[in-house]
Structures are given as C-alpha cells and as structure tokens.
Amino acid sequence: MAGPCHLPCSLLPAHPSDIRPLPILLVPCNLPGMRYGIIKTSAGLVGVADSGKGLRRLTLPRTSENAVLQELGVEVTEGSARDDGAFETIVRLLRRYFEGESVDFSGVALDLEGMTAFRRRVLENVRAIPRGQVRTYGEVAAGVDRPGAARAVGGVMAANPVCIVIPCHRVVASDGGLGGFGGGLEMKESMLAMEGAFAAA
C-alpha cells in the first residue's frame, strides 16, 4: 500500500511573487488576551492568533517569518503577545495535516466575533465540507440560502481568516477550474490532491 501523500516545502510556489497575501478582514484583532505564534511545519511557516475565545487567524504556509507576520496583520502583531509555545493542540494537528494524515479540525474553537451574519454562515458552511470533497462557489451560496451569491462567497473565501481549519481550498469554480486561492493555485491543487479530491497533476 502506498504511503500517505505529503506536502513538502516544494508545495510552496518557486517564486515568492507567486504568493498573494490574503486580504485582511476588517475585524478588530487587538483584543485583550490576544496572542500569536509562528508554527514550523513540513510545508512552511504558519501563523496563528488566538483571542482566548478561539482562533482569529491561521495563515497558509509561507517561506519566511516576515511573510507570516505580514499576513497575520499589524492588528494582530502590534500590541499582542507572541508565544510560539501556546498552541500545542493546533500545532500537532497542523503538522499531522501537512504530513498527509486525515485530521479532524472540528474541535478547534474559532472566534468569528465581529463578522456579518452572511460571512459567518458562509464560513460555517465551508467548514463542514468533508475531506476529499469539493463544493462550487454557487453550491456554497445555495447552502446558505443565497443562490446567485457565488461572487460574494468568493469574496468571503478570499478573506478567510482561518485557512485549513475552514477549508476554503475545497471551494472551486463551477466550470471545473480551481477558482482562486491566496496561496496560489499550485498549492490549492496539491492540498486537494493530498486529500483525495483531485488526482495529482
């Protein structure tokens, strides 16, 4: 039997210019008790921020700490405490995920306070997409009773604050294309192939 599909550092685009920082949500993150850290995984460095109520930010793998800090945003990194050792559970889950294991993130508490009702519903809908499956932007829109709002769903995906735990990479275009992705389409395809949704190119 073949071993698990891994996501090594080669998952990251060869050229830094291929990586597009995700848009930062206009949701305050400099909350009392906010802390953040940078996690080393086999796919790269991942940033995480927690409000004490749950995760507020989780970035895609990046090649440098500066890139991670940029994506976390100044509203997280300024006035918040950095504590790389404070995220034992999510560290363990992320490292297993990037080694190709099937990981259940459903028990990870999220703090989505300050978001619109539509954005929360979209993110909750996408969080429920099982590993190995995909949904189109239109299907997600229909799933939150907003048929015809596929473009708005795409906007929510582009600003997903907690990537991987809310698997925005599992949302694709209706024409069979990958759609967009803040980490680049190569990374999106690799993640879907690892999960068994798409065959590896």
Annotated active-site positions, please? 168
CA 128 distance to own-chain centroid: 14
Q: 112 by DSSP, 3-state: which?
A: coil
Note whether 42 and 5 are within 8 A (CB): no
Strand ranges (E), 20-172: 35-41, 44-50, 55-58, 81-82, 135-136, 171-172
Distance CA 20, CA 11 (A): 15
CA–CA gap between residue 160 and residue 129 (Å, rounded): 15
Distance CA 90, CA 101 (A): 14
